[in-house]
Amino acid sequence: MDLFSKKKELDLLNADEVAKSPKQKLIPFILAAVVIILAIGVFVVIFIANFVAQRGLVEAKEEVSNKTLEWQKYKEIATNIKDIQTKSALHTKFVSTYSSLDKKIDKLKSLLPQGVFLTNLTIDNSGKTVVTGASNIPEDAYQFRDVLLSEKDVKDVLLTSVAKTGVLYTFSIDFVINTK
């Protein structure tokens, strides 16, 4: 009947090993719990960081939209400022390239007789000038040529043409004007 009797288990652990055994069984559970808590913590940190980043993105899009609307208000003004800056740069370059041009034009204006008006003026920085003008009488064109000939700052005067067009007389004069 030993077959149906309760079997006894053999305990091969000594007393010290039996005392350590429950602690050793808890360590894997504690480590697993720590790893799970750390994983949940990392997940929460990533979730919060994602939420903050999404919020920052929404704020940045709103700011870009607001700046775009604000820019539309000033777009025309900015375009005008760029045009003015471009023209100012061209004017500065022109003034530096043709520094004495205004003096030459003022000199020419002071020599222009009464009754003569200029219709075309070509002048370069060296003073070479071609003037086309008109007057009521042809003598005004000759008088203008004589005034140019008498000036010490004007040389190589050549009256190239005088012609009647309608009621006016047109003329063309070539010369070189010098100014200090």
pLDDT at 34: 94
Q: What's the confidence (pLDDT) of residue 24?
A: 66
Q: CA-CA distance, 36 to 44, in Å (whole number)?
A: 12
**CA-to-CA dists, residue 126 to 35, 45, 107, 111, 160, angstroms:** 90, 78, 14, 19, 20
Q: Which residue has the higher pLDDT, 11 or 81?
A: 81
Q: Residue 6: what pLDDT?
A: 64
Query: CA 18, CA 11: separation in Å to the nearest integer?
Result: 10
Q: How far is 70 from 40, CA to CA, in rounded Å?
A: 45
Q: Distance (Å, rounded) from C-alpha 91 to C-alpha 165?
A: 36
Between 95 and 142, the more confident residue is 142
Q: pLDDT tens, 103-126?
A: 777 877 888 888 888 899 888 777
Residues 144, 162: Cα–Cα separation, whole Å: 12
> pLDDT tens digits, residue range 126-156?
778 899 999 988 888 888 889 888 888 888 8
User: Which of 21-35, 41-55, 128-142 has the weakest average pLDDT?
Assistant: 21-35
Task: Give me the pLDDT at residue 148, please.
Answer: 87
Beta partners for residue 175, in sequence order: 129
Statement: residue 99 has pLDDT above 70: no
Confidence of residue 35 (pLDDT cuts 50, 70, 90): very high
Please, which pLDDT band fits residue 23 given cuts at 50, 70 and 90? low
Give tens-digit pLDDT for 56-91: 999 999 999 999 988 888 888 889 999 999 999 998
What percentage of the chain reaches a pLDDT higher than 70? Answer: 83
- Do 107 and 179 touch, CB atoms closer than 8 A? yes
pTM: 0.46
What average pLDDT does the chain have? 84
The fold of 101-177 is: Gyrase A; domain 2 (3.30.1360)
Cβ atoms within 10 Å of 123's Cβ, excluding its own:
17
Locate the domains of the chain by residue range: 13-97, 101-177
